[in-house]
A and B are shown apart, each in its own frame.
Chain A
């Protein structure tokens, strides 16, 4: 403590009181940063990915809490914003259908409930595409300055998507009660299907996240694409039975089996296209690994460009 005496009189500071209890010291980690691609040591890379995923859970939780509370803090309607869009959308479509402005086929459940449930699911999907990009975009400063497990941003995005869906679920429950719809026992399986759909969206979002942090074009383009994509997915209409071009597009749309299966598990009880569901789910899991790898490896190069 010689150093203080020369310049200024010692003032009581937290360090002299030392209130931090001693915890077992962590083993000192040794990090080596080298230019070669991490792909050249795949085992090491996989071990590191696993470790980072584990390490990022708590950070993801903190980030999610921060973002959710910030999201609704400065708004008069608050959490209601999670449920307002599906209400407006379904009210609009239900009105149009009842006035015969649009002609939708026969749906499994009453049309207003059908649209409400489907829009809630679709919006969950579209959020799962957009949120990883938005999270990475708004964390640019942080990414350029602090080394933290990058997986945390994606986990936080997924958490927030599911949180928002939970609110939408309240609305859907209300609608089911209103129409006195019976809930099939298969609803206990619905979270699995929902998760697959959210993962599929996250794969897309994660793929584009590093680039979208650099160029706004990716986010804007994706928003545009989602607007069109909605009409190629059985959200406001039932799955078409015809084999025309439209029917083909809807059928080969990868979101269709995921969304339809989730909806059927929640409201109908029978699954119309189990093969399609498992096919897309399988692709999703493979895609998840690839997207995770690309996201991780691309990040330092993206940071290089936006930090200089």
Chain B
């Protein structure tokens, strides 16, 4: 995939005349309080209708906050821009302003050409109607004339891979089929700018790969797009420039690698952890302790020395130090591991209960260890939840997020995990 990024980089030398989207100093207020929102809504509508609303609405009313504050960037023809940020950072709001659905409170957005929002996969699909009828309805909502839809109809059906189901109600489609049809409709409107909002997470791997290929192909033809994600990896594959939003503010923009690095750094720093890979927990107040407290989490390497970032394929020993006032028979340790920048999917669960290995908690300071002979995790950043439990339900103590990094000296390619192996030649 890095090869792809390099290739596309050289293809797009931005020129000023080629700016298709320009966002300048855009701010937007929001209000979460239901009653105030109603009141402000009516207030805004009246000042809009009476022509009282100007270009600088920069005073916050009571209970309002900035959903976006002074955000600006440019998008050139044939360029792909990534928009990263955690949920609630204002990505979707920005996308809605670019699509012209809501108005900014300060600043301007200039758009050249047709914008097709992929935030709207299948919006307007009526489950009762057939795929054919829905293609016509959906594509005319996206701004095509009947003639244009006639021209593209076969391509849409072929791309969505639903030739047999085209005359059955959309209700009878699988969710994958619906997503495919939605994507096919949006992509065949041939827009100048495509807004993609996390949608590539739908459908199976094969179709996702097909969508990515299609997006690359369209880019070669000069399509620009804005890709929104909280997952940095999908941005890496498609975009060379990137904008990072946090709480409505633009933190950094520019080269994807740099921006994503900053984004991932911030993801750690917002967690409670100060020492990456080695974490000592302060003594709990007496009332909060259930008798067993985790005091330190860290890794040991092959030679038994503490080590901040274990290596893929090598022995890693994960140590859980505890202090106990009681002794517990048949206790156990559960580790739940996720990717820091992932979609929240659990990658790995290690449980001494599942493995039917009873561990005993003894009074005093001791340590529980997990030996992992050939660590299977690939290089990257991970977040781990650690539980000391009894009977797999009662939790004595837990750590919500222990963050650690994995390094590697072996080439991983695009593998999702490490398989330890030996190669042999046998003569028979």
What residues of chain A have their CB less than 8 Å away from a CB belonging to chain B?
Answer: 1-4, 6-8, 11, 13-15, 19-21, 23, 28-40, 58-59, 62-63, 65-66, 69-70, 73-74, 139, 141-148, 210, 214-215, 293-294, 297-298, 300-305, 307-308
Docked complex Cα distance between A6 and B133 (Å) = 38
Sample of 17 A–B contacts (CB below 8 Å): A3-B4, A15-B214, A20-B151, A23-B151, A33-B111, A35-B108, A37-B51, A39-B51, A66-B133, A145-B120, A146-B141, A147-B117, A297-B45, A301-B48, A302-B45, A304-B41, A307-B96
Docked complex Cα distance between A3 and B8 (Å) = 8
Q: A146, B45: Cβ atoms under 8 Å?
A: no
Interface size on B, residues (CB 8 A): 77
Chain B hits for A59, CB < 8 A: 140-141
Q: Please judge, given known A-B contacts A3-B216, A19-B155, whether A62 and B108 are in contact too, CB under 8 Å.
A: no
Chain B hits for A33, CB < 8 A: 97, 100, 103-104, 108-111
Q: Please judge, given known A-B contacts A70-B129, A293-B49, A301-B48, whether A146 and B103 are in contact too, CB under 8 Å.
A: no
Docked complex Cα distance between A89 and B8 (Å) = 68
Q: B136, A62: Cβ atoms under 8 Å?
A: yes
Digitize B43-70: 1 where CB-to-A-CB distance is under 8 Å, 0 elsewhere: 0110111111111110000000001000
B142-150, B283-291, B323-331, B418-426: which lies at the interface: B142-150
Docked complex Cα distance between A38 and B146 (Å) = 31
Q: A146, B128: Cβ atoms under 8 Å?
A: no
Assuming A33-B108, A305-B41, what are 20 further A-B pairs, CB within 8 angstroms?
A: A8-B213, A14-B154, A15-B217, A29-B112, A29-B114, A31-B112, A33-B103, A33-B111, A34-B55, A35-B55, A35-B105, A35-B108, A36-B55, A73-B128, A142-B120, A144-B101, A146-B123, A300-B101, A301-B41, A303-B102
Q: B159, A13: Cβ atoms under 8 Å?
A: yes
Q: A145, B216: Cβ atoms under 8 Å?
A: no
Docked complex Cα distance between A3 and B44 (Å) = 48
Determine which of B109, B134, B137 lies in contact with A32 in the assembled complex, contact meaning CB atoms within 8 Å. B109
Q: A35, B103: Cβ atoms under 8 Å?
A: yes
Q: B129, A13: Cβ atoms under 8 Å?
A: no
Q: A28, B1: Cβ atoms under 8 Å?
A: no
Docked complex Cα distance between A258 and B93 (Å) = 45
Chain A hits for B1, CB < 8 A: 6-7
Is B351 in contact with chain A by the CB < 8 A criterion?
no
Chain A hits for B107, CB < 8 A: 34-35
Is B158 in contact with chain A by the CB < 8 A criterion?
yes
Q: A148, B142: Cβ atoms under 8 Å?
A: yes
What residues of chain B have their CB less than 8 Å away from a CB belonging to chain A?
Answer: 1, 3-4, 7-8, 30, 37-38, 41, 44-45, 47-57, 67, 93, 96-97, 99-115, 117, 119-120, 123-124, 126, 128-129, 133-134, 136-137, 140-143, 145-148, 151-152, 154-155, 158-159, 192, 209-210, 213-214, 216-217, 220
Determine which of B52, B109, B113, B151 lies in contact with A37 in the assembled complex, contact meaning CB atoms within 8 Å. B52
B173 to chain A, nearest CB (A): 16
Q: B137, A63: Cβ atoms under 8 Å?
A: yes
Q: A6, B52: Cβ atoms under 8 Å?
A: no
**From B118, which residue of chain A is reached at the shortest CB distance?**
A145
**From A22, which residue of chain B is reached at the shortest CB distance?**
B151
**From B216, which residue of chain A is reached at the shortest CB distance?**
A3
Q: Please judge, given known A-B contacts A15-B214, A30-B110, A74-B128, whether A147 and B100 are in contact too, CB under 8 Å.
A: yes
Tell me how many residue pairs across A and B have CB atoms closer than 8 Å.
Answer: 201
Determine which of B8, B103, B112, B148 lies in contact with A30 in the assembled complex, contact meaning CB atoms within 8 Å. B112
Q: Please judge, given known A-B contacts A3-B216, A37-B52, whether A19 and B126 are in contact too, CB under 8 Å.
A: no
Chain A hits for B100, CB < 8 A: 31, 33, 147
B17 to chain A, nearest CB (A): 12
Q: B48, A73: Cβ atoms under 8 Å?
A: no
Docked complex Cα distance between A62 and B141 (Å) = 9
Chain B hits for A215, CB < 8 A: 38
A138 to chain B, nearest CB (A): 10
Docked complex Cα distance between A196 and B105 (Å) = 39
Chain B hits for A141, CB < 8 A: 123-124
**From A147, which residue of chain B is reached at the shortest CB distance?**
B100
Docked complex Cα distance between A304 and B103 (Å) = 8
Docked complex Cα distance between A3 and B30 (Å) = 41
Determine which of B41, B120, B152 lies in contact with A302 in the assembled complex, contact meaning CB atoms within 8 Å. B41
Q: Please judge, given known A-B contacts A28-B192, A32-B109, A66-B137, whether A4 and B101 are in contact too, CB under 8 Å.
A: no
Q: A146, B216: Cβ atoms under 8 Å?
A: no
**From B139, which residue of chain A is reached at the shortest CB distance?**
A62
Chain B hits for A293, CB < 8 A: 49
Chain B hits for A301, CB < 8 A: 41, 44-45, 48, 102-103
Chain B hits for A69, CB < 8 A: 129, 133
**From A12, which residue of chain B is reached at the shortest CB distance?**
B158
Residue among B97, B124, B209 with max Cβ neighbours from chain A (10 Å): B124
A67 to chain B, nearest CB (A): 8
Chain A hits for B109, CB < 8 A: 32-34
Q: A145, B48: Cβ atoms under 8 Å?
A: no
Chain A hits for B141, CB < 8 A: 59, 62-63, 142, 146, 148
Q: A6, B210: Cβ atoms under 8 Å?
A: no
Docked complex Cα distance between A216 and B48 (Å) = 23
Determine which of B136, B148, B158, B209 lies in contact with A14 in the assembled complex, contact meaning CB atoms within 8 Å. B158
**From A144, which residue of chain B is reached at the shortest CB distance?**
B101
Q: Please judge, given known A-B contacts A148-B142, A302-B41, whether A307 and B102 are in contact too, CB under 8 Å.
A: yes
Determine which of A15, A145, A214 lies in contact with B101 in the assembled complex, contact meaning CB atoms within 8 Å. A145
**From A28, which residue of chain B is reached at the shortest CB distance?**
B113
Determine which of B8, B126, B145, B146 lies in contact with A70 in the assembled complex, contact meaning CB atoms within 8 Å. B126
Determine which of B111, B129, B213 lies in contact with A73 in the assembled complex, contact meaning CB atoms within 8 Å. B129
Q: Please judge, given known A-B contacts A59-B140, A146-B142, whether A35 and B117 are in contact too, CB under 8 Å.
A: no
